[in-house]
Amino acid sequence: MTSMIVFLDFDGVLHPESVEHKSELLCRLPLVESVLREFSRADIVISSTWRLSWRDPSAATLAMRQYFSPDIAPRVLGVTPNHLYLDGTAAPGGLPLYPRQWECETWLGAHRAPGTPWLALDDRADWFRPLCEHLMAFEADTAFTPEHQDELRVRLREMQRRADTP
């Protein structure tokens, strides 16, 4: 069975961009986790700039796992590379103009078979190609809300169908 990858941003997704107090950080993570529990084949890769506090991707992955519930944390597989250190000449045409998508696709190319279903949860639509079918975009000031849970379920179900189609 093919796994599915969810690239997860934090600021503007797991909490509103303009949190006023540290206690509000990641306040929407339980909403995302509750949907992910319904899709055991959906693994997580952190695309948030929070990952950049560590130079070593393994250390960043371990640090990022601490934010998740014990049943979800093992599904955090890694972090995307920093586009500032990627070779733009090796990227498909125009992709360096969309840094977050470039980082996601670079991670996929290094760790998964071509055609692996993926979805990015992000508040920076301008960091992805226009109309990117792999993006579920959020408003930074509201982030992921209970109203988004059904859309995420629909998107993950569709990914699951694609993963199951030979």
93-152 per-position pLDDT tens digit: 888 899 999 999 999 999 999 999 999 999 999 999 999 999 999 999 999 999 999 999
Note the pLDDT of residue 1: 57
Instruction: Give phi and psi for 75, each to the nearest 5.
Output: -85, -5
Query: Which residues have a Cβ under 8 Å from the Cβ of 43 and sit 6 or more positions away?
Result: 3, 4, 5, 6, 75, 76, 77
pLDDT band at 43 (very low <50, low <70, confident <90, very high): very high
pTM across the whole model: 0.96
Q: Across residues 53-64, what is the average pLDDT? A: 95
Please give the residue range of the domain that contains residue 138.
4-164
Q: Tokens 């006023």 appear where?
A: 20
Gap between the Cα atoms of 67 and 19, Å rounded? 17
The domain tally of the chain equals 1
d(CA 150, CA 156): 10
Q: Round to whole Å and give the CA distance between 135 and 162.
A: 16
Residue type, 94: G
Q: Where are the beta strands (DSSP E) in 40-100?
A: 42-46, 76-79
Q: 65-109: per-residue pLDDT in tens? A: 999 999 999 999 999 999 988 888 878 788 889 999 999 999 999
63: exposed, middle or buried (Cβ count in 10 Å: 0-12, 13-18, 19+): middle
